[in-house]
Amino acid sequence: MDDGLRGAHGLVSGRVLTVGLGEGEELRDTDFEECRLERISLEKARLSGVSFDECTFVGVDLSMCALLDVRFAECEMRESKALGVSWLGARGGGLATSSLRVVDSRLDYSSFAGADVRGMSFERCSLREVDFTGADCRGVVLRDCDLSGARLVGTDLREASLVGSAGWAMEVASCRLARLELDATNALDVVAALGVTVVAG
């Protein structure tokens, strides 16, 4: 049985997939359920109308992969990289589900601008120079991440968490921050950006 993505179509269930796609290759209209994608490259490939349900990505390279109407539901990505990816074409499960949990991975230079990324979580990830301009990040967890140079402009961060993350540049006045969770240092930076001075008592 083929253990790769090339030629996959329809429903693919319970498989371990170890062969990716080459640059410029396209995967269309395929539903993956409870699959494990291991150490494969999708760099500069194109995914269109693809869904991943309860799938695990380990050591996968999604760098500069085109995501067009791609859905993640209850998925986890570990020790992977997705450099320079536009996530606008990815659909998550929203606040009701955990659409994609990303751990110990690199997503530098990617764009979530204008994207709905509710339900995603990032732990110990590198998100350097990532653009969250206008993104719906309600309930998103960004824990212990390197956000050096990341842009948070007009971002909806209600009920999100940035605990342990550092380096981000937030245009505070343009963001929605109700019930945003921050550690003490970041909280002071946000308060200072609002023009408030905290005086020790």
CB-side neighbour CA atoms (13 Å) of 52:
26
53 with 35: CB under 8 angstroms?
no
Nearest to 24 by CA among 39, 41, 10: 41
Element (H, E) at 77: strand 75-78
Residue 177 phi, psi dihedral angles, 5° rounding: -120, 10
Give the separation between CA 73 and CA 38, rounded to whole angstroms. 18
Architecture of the structural domain at 81-193: 3 Solenoid (2.160)
Residue-level pLDDT, tens digit, the chain, 201 residues: 458 888 888 999 999 999 999 999 999 999 999 999 999 999 999 999 999 999 999 999 999 999 998 988 899 999 999 999 999 887 654 433 458 999 999 999 999 999 888 889 999 999 999 999 999 999 999 999 999 999 999 999 999 999 999 998 889 889 999 999 998 878 877 877 777 777 776
- Please indicate, yes or no, whether the overall pTM of this predicted structure exceeds 0.95: no
Domain spans of the chain, in order of start: 81-193
Nearest to 33 by CA among 4, 57, 11: 11
Burial bucket for residue 16 (CB in 10 Å: 0-12, 13-18, 19+) = exposed
What pLDDT does residue 1 have?
45
